[in-house]
Amino acid sequence: MTKARTLADFNTTGVLTSTSTINPANLDSTGTIPSALLAGVGGGKIVNVTREVLSTSLPATPHTSGTPEVDVITKTVNFTEGNSLIIIANAAYELEGNGATNNPKALCFIRESGTNLMNISLRNRFPDSTGYKQDVVVLTAQLSPSGTQTTIELGYEAISGRMRYFGSSDFLGGTSLTILEIAA
């Protein structure tokens, strides 16, 4: 606010109003705000967008003892050091009892190189073990990684019952991973 105050007159509450004036002496010779007054202002601009779509639905993975987690989309992302990443995952899924439970459970996740960034637990209660639900869940995460490259993973784990993600030609546009690079 201090630098802005040297450019214009603000009211007593710090608001620029229609009666505020800009001091022309603080503009440069072209009538624009000098870069010295804009130091520290900026950033937040989207500089890159990466999108990966699951093209084909996966076969449903039933829960068994020691069922591994399934990485559905793994994407290596290059970015400028110091920038942030915003990750948006659209997970179109089917969770079902698989004839084994009327209370199936699964975990959807976003990871960076194996480290959890976001988890969502899914569970349903059905009248019997043949019940299923098809739906979409959106996971988001913000990340300020070091270096210039990282790997983002979207996946799931069937905890009980059976789980799968849909591809782009199936349910509600399928499953996708969108990564926005935001300038520092």
Least confident span in 32-36, 45-49, 118-122:
32-36
Which residues contact residue 59 at a Cβ distance below 8 angstroms, ignoring those fewer than 6 apart?
164
Condensed to tens digits (0 to 9), the pLDDT of residues 81-105 reads 999 999 999 999 999 998 999 999 9
Do residues 65 and 151 both lie within one domain? Answer: yes
So what's the pLDDT on residue 1? 42
Given a cut of 50, whether residue 78 has pLDDT beyond it is: yes
> Is the pLDDT assigned to residue 28 strictly greater than 90?
no
pLDDT of residue 164: 87
**Lowest mean pLDDT across 40-44, 107-111, 115-119, 166-170:** 40-44
What is the spatial distance between Cα 8 and Cα 102, in angstroms, rounded to a whole number? 65
- Which single residue is written with the structure tokens 């546009």? 173
Residue 24 has pLDDT above 60, yes or no: yes
> Which pLDDT does position 152 carry in this prediction?
95
Residues 6+ apart with CB under 8 A from 3: 37, 38, 39, 40, 41
Torsion angle, alpha carbons of 75, 80, 84, 85, to 10: -20
Mean pLDDT over 117-121 rounds to: 93
Say if residue 66 is in the same domain as residue 132.
Answer: yes
Q: What is the mean predicted confidence (pLDDT) over 32-52?
A: 74
In sequence order, which residues have a C-beta less than 8 Å from that of residue 55 and are 6 or more positions away?
A: 167, 168, 169, 174
Q: Is the pLDDT of residue 2 over 50?
A: no
Long-range pairs for 44-49 at CB < 8 Å and ≥24 separation?
Answer: 44/182, 44/183, 45/182, 45/183, 46/180, 46/181, 46/182, 46/183, 47/80, 47/83, 47/181, 47/182, 47/183, 48/79, 48/180, 48/181, 49/178, 49/179, 49/180, 49/181
pLDDT of residue 5: 47
* Residue 52 and residue 9 share a domain: no
Q: What's the pLDDT at 69?
A: 80
Query: Does residue 21 sit in the same domain as residue 111?
Result: no
What integer is the mean pLDDT of 35-48?
70
Q: How many domains does the chain have?
A: 2
Are 36 and 53 found together in one domain?
no
Same domain, 13 and 89: no
What CATH number did the domain enclosing 60 receive?
A: 2.60.120.760
Helix or strand or coil: residue 146? Answer: coil
Q: Are residues 78 and 35 in the same domain?
A: no
Out of 53-67, 115-129, 135-149, least confident range = 53-67
